[in-house]
């Protein structure tokens, strides 16, 4: 079963936000070598796939050197927010 239209839009919004957050200070002397994704869902779910896909793309493109991931399922994603 594929991702719903709403899920695709949320993934696009999250990816766009991440990219803007990384490049919003393009003129500054700041570099980001690594990123840690806190995923508000279980392994293999939609949020997990999206985070790992974005992390892989960032590493493969050379934007960052390392991406790490932490799944925190429970409470409909609320556990990751606390």
**What residues does each domain of the chain span?**
5-81
Query: What is the 8-class DSSP label of residue 75?
Result: G
What band does 75 get if pLDDT is binned at 50, 70 and 90?
A: confident
CA distance linking residue 75 with residue 32, whole number of Å? 31
Instruction: Give the pLDDT score at 6.
Output: 81
Sequence-ordered strand ranges (E) for 1-82: 34-39, 66-71
- Condensed to tens digits (0 to 9), the pLDDT of residues 45-68 reads 899 999 999 999 999 999 899 999
pTM of the full structure = 0.60
- Condensed to tens digits (0 to 9), the pLDDT of residues 9-45 reads 888 888 888 777 777 655 666 678 999 999 998 899 8
Instruction: Give the pLDDT score at 18.
Output: 78
């Amino acid at each position: 079963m594929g991702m719903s239209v709403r899920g695709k839009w949320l993934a696009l919004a999250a990816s766009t936000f991440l990219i803007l957050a990384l490049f919003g200070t393009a003129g500054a002397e700041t570099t980001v070598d690594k990123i840690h994704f806190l995923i508000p869902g279980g392994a293999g779910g939609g949020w997990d796939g999206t985070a790992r896909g974005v992390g892989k793309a960032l590493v493969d493109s050379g934007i960052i050197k390392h991406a790490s991931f932490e799944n925190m399922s429970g409470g409909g994603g609320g556990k990751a927010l606390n």
